[in-house]
Structure 1
Amino acid sequence: MRELIRPVVKGAARLDAATPASRDRAVDALRALAIVGVVLGHWLVTALVADGGTLRTDSPLRHLPHLAPISWAFQTLAVFFLVGGHVATRSLATAQDRGQSYGQWLRTRLTRLFAPVAAVLALWTVAAVALLLTGADLATVRTLVKLALCPLWFLLVFAALTAATPLLTRVNPLWPLAVVLHVDLVRFGLGGPSWLGWANLAAGWLVPYTLGAAWTRGELERRRAGWILLAGGAAVTAALVAWAGYPASMVGVPGAAVSNLNPPTLAAVTFGVAQCGLALLLRAPLRRALRRPVAWAAVVLVNLSAMTIFLWHQTALMATTATALLAGRLPGLHTVPDGLGWIAARLLWLPVFALALGVCRTAFRSHERRSDLRARRPSRVVRVHRGPADAAAKEARRA
């Protein structure tokens, strides 16, 4: 056993040594936690029920509403937007100091964001056509493609906010929060049209993004700011759920009249504010924990494949589900998620999903790596692969 552990420890030490002392490791840790939270959340609450010859989506939150706290732990998109706003505003300032134009900076950011998407679109286009040609039910194909491509909405919103970063560096988060408040007042209080809620798709995620910009400006460095955001956001969210009729689940539930996430509601945004407060409070403990080389290595490995993990985790779930269907309807995978037995069975499937995601990472990580190379052009690229420590050094230099 010691012989197996020793190379891991040595590799982690190299990763640690390759990281500049100026790097804020807590930022990378928060990004990694946000990605892992989204992945685990989807794997826990997304059910593909085999119903005759079709697959349909369902959720344990529909049948077991008392499990709504699961969504509180794993709906971590606000933390991702917080970190995204912080990193984007900081990297823009650095680019300007180096004489880089806004266009060059934006091309770099968007290339890293969208280049890996091509592989997902290509595979699922081929898969959808193949399924239809082999007689698969249209509803099943629609369900699978929708699940596979649903992460792309997040990338579009994130890209739009990234492009608007020069305009957002000084925006007070209270302004987009006020927009969300008034949109919900019109929708739910005055009987306004439901389509108006889609204005919150930008305004709602603009709140944590501009909190990230405030973090860059140094306005959230004191622990008091984190406590105010955590306590205030949690109190308002609790009041909205208890007395204003907002759903307790922070993710969409099939068949529910109102979703807190599609589009974001005031409750989802205030909950995100609380999450941002907690994230800010965790910075110091994370920095201390990540002095350990092994812990830092785990964070680096997640960040090096962040887009691949995010884009392919639903495909990993569906590939496992479809393959296992050959053995019949299996609990926790193809059955209706209407009991604690389903939850227990689903937990046992998580390592299988992780293994399938690992296969996807191995197959498609090269697309993410090439996007990084294209983003760094015309700077000279060293093409000799020297191992994980060099990958960590590259990751450490990324904004």
Structure 2
Amino acid sequence: MSSTLKPALQGGAPTVPVSRDLVVDLIRVACMFAVVAVHLLMMGISVDDSGISVDNPLTSLSWFAQGTWFGQVMPLFFVVGGFASLTSWRSLRRKGGDAGDYLRNRVLRLVRPTVALYAFLAVALWSATAAGVPGDLLAVIAAGAGVQLWFLAAYLICQAMVPTMAKLHEAAPYRTIGALAACAVVVDVFRLGLEHNPWGFDSNPIGLLNMVFVWGLLQQLGFFYADGFFDRIARWQLVLAAAGCYASLVLLTHAGPYPVDMLTSQNPPMFPLILVGLAHVLLVKAFYPVLQRCVQLGWVQKVMFVVGSRAMTIYLWHLPLIIAMFGIALLLHLPFPEPASFDWWVSRPLFYVAAWALVLLVSMPLVRLELASTALSPGASRPAMWRIVVATALAIIPPFVVMRTALGAVNATWGLVLLVLAVVLVTGKVPGQAWKRPASAERVPS
């Protein structure tokens, strides 16, 4: 998720490679601002004589469900992630790298920042338990702090697919994306068809297969983006196609079996998310000239560099820090307006700015984990492929379990162990000097 915009030697302004698509960086950063905003607005805290309660004020808005067709940005994030992934994979191949090199880089980039979060959460949750925090309140706090971790599991699954899917894309791009779409529909048919089965079993686990097909298809759209497919379509056709996606959403939700709210279609993912992501990328390309002018502004590039260079850190930590911010506000006995009231809405921009200030402050020391080099130390050999595959599986398990069961002190602890083990497995060893501190190496693009 990290940007490769680099600061210039003097003045702190970003230096941009001529071939780089800055609009992709802008989209990624805009998605980050949207994710933080939505998660902040979903926390409505009420304080009265009966105690503290938390609900989601957004669900009370009559237009919220339809608003998610535009505000649900995760499908678009997988598309731009696919663009970056194919670009990185092709660059690595030109340098003589293979699937093992790619996957090792991805594991290190994504897991090292996550280890710090899991360590913090494990210590915090066990400390709160020892301090006597009521179990039901702690469960709510822990669940909220781990909501965002589903993305790590889904993204790692998609990243593990990149070398294979890139080959399929080069050999048969349309058949590949058609097969993914067909599989996504089949999974939904079984899942929704068995939703009210007479045997009483939960059909939602069937939908987990769409973590491969839905998110994988959206990533594949990013491959088409990287190949310039959307550049060959006239602007009016892009807008018309986006309108067609939304018309299809109306049929699938209002006249079909899918929920209108695209956030409820996220875990496990459903086929309509593909239409949302496709509509978004079509609109991005339709307004591409405007976005290109925006990214030429110096202050926009600086914001893109600051946020993009620590995007994974911001994403991982923003929810725990938002919860901590509200906790501090409660301790200070600050006023909490009724959620969704006029005063509540008026106060949200102040909380949003405060949340970003806190996130950026905390990210300053933590971003080193995200930006640390993945290069092997001099004389080290790359781990065997089986170690890389096992490490990837170990890295997926902790966030996947959190996605399915919510975060708790126990799974934060064993999850930390698995994540550390994943990093250890993909760290190259110097023969006879396994624990020698690596010499500093030039950062290589991943």
Alignment TM-score > 0.5, same fold: yes
Q: Secondary structure at the match of 1:263?
A: coil
| Cα deviation 1:17-37 (Å, max 9, x = unaligned) | x22212221121121112222
2:152 is matched with which residue: 132, 148, 155?
155
Match of 1:28 in 2: 25
Does residue 44 of the first structure (1) align with residue 54 of the second (2)? no
Shift of 1:120: 0.5
What SS is found at the alignment partner of 1:116?
helix
Unaligned runs of 5+ in 2: 1-7, 198-202, 379-438
Counterpart of 1:231?
Answer: 243
Q: 2: distance between equivalents of 1:369 and 1:221?
A: 32
Give 3-state SS (helix, strand or coil) of 1:246's partner. coil
After superposition, the C-alpha distances for 1:235-290 in whole angstroms (9 at most, x for unaligned) are 11122232225333222xxxxxxx22222223333222212222333433322222
CA displacement 1:291-314 (0-9 Å, x = unmatched): 222221211111111111101110
Change (3 A) 1:60 1:174: farther
**What amino acid sits opposite 2:286 in the alignment?**
L
Q: Return the alpha-carbon distance in structure 1 between the equivalents of residues 315 and 149 of structure 2.
A: 10
The code of the aligned residue for 1:213 comes to F
Q: Aligned equivalents of 1:343 and 1:73: distance in 2?
A: 20
2:278 to 269, 273, 279: 273
Q: Is 1:207 matched with 2:217? A: yes
Match of 1:173, SS state, is: helix
Residue 3 of structure 1 corresponds to which residue in structure 2?
none
Equivalent residue, structure 2, for 1:301: 306
> Which residue in 1 is equivalent to 2:375?
376
TM-score (norm 1): 0.82
TM-score, normalized by length of structure 2? 0.74
Aligned: 1:249 with 2:277? no
Aligned to 2:185: 181
For residue 269 of structure 2, give the secondary structure of its aligned residue in structure 1: coil
Greater helix percent: which structure? Answer: 1
Shift in alpha-carbon separation, 1:78–1:229, aligned structure 2, 3 A: farther
- Deviation for aligned residue 1:104: 1.5
Residues 190 and 123 (structure 1), Cα distance of their counterparts in 2 relative to 1, 3 Å cut? closer
Whole-Å Cα distance in 2 between the matches of residues 222 and 12 of structure 1? Answer: 39
For residue 13 of structure 2, what is the aligned residue in structure 1? 15
Distance verdict in 2 for CA 1:296–1:250, change over 3 Å: same
C-alpha contact 1:55 1:140 (8 A) present in aligned 2: no
Q: Which amino acid in 1 is paired with 2:56?
A: S
Check conservation: 1:331, 1:345, Cα contact below 8 A: no
Closer/same/farther in 2, CA of residues 51 and 261 from structure 1, 3 Å limit: farther
Residue in 2 aligned with 1:123? 120
Would the alpha carbon gap of residues 275 and 288 (structure 1) be closer, same or farther in structure 2, given more than 3 Å must change?
A: same
Question: Given the alignment of the two structures, is residue 219 of structure 1 paired with residue 229 of structure 2, yes or no?
Answer: yes
Report the CA distance between 1:355 and its aligned residue.
2.0
- On the 8 A contact 1:173/1:206 being kept in 2, the answer is no
Task: Give per-residue Cα distances to partners, 1:300-332, cap 9 Å, x unaligned.
Answer: 111111111101110121011111111337325
Tell me the number of residue pairs that the alignment of Structure 1 and Structure 2 aligns.
364
Gaps of 5+ in 1: 1-9, 252-258, 384-393
With over 3 angstroms needed to count, the CA separation of the structure-2 counterparts of 1:14 and 1:138, relative to structure 1, is closer
Please tell me whether the aligned partners of residues 375 and 441 of structure 2 are also in contact (alpha carbons under 8 angstroms).
Answer: no
User: Which residue of 80, 84, 87 corresponds with 2:84?
Assistant: 87
CA separation in 1, counterparts of 2:47 and 2:210?
34
Q: Give the counterpart letter for 2:358 in structure 1.
A: A
- Percent identical residues: 25
2:13 match: secondary structure? helix
RMSD in angstroms over aligned alpha carbons? 2.8
Aligned to 1:285: 290
- Give 3-state SS (helix, strand or coil) of 2:242's partner: helix
**d(CA) in 2 for partners of 1:344 and 1:331?**
12
Work out whether 1:343 is the aligned partner of 2:345: yes
Contact 2:70 2:276 in 1 (8 A): no
* Distance apart, 1:134 and its partner CA: 1.0
How far residue 59 of structure 1 moved from its aligned partner, in angstroms, is 0.8
Write the distance in 2 (CA, Å) between the matches of 1:13 and 1:147: 39
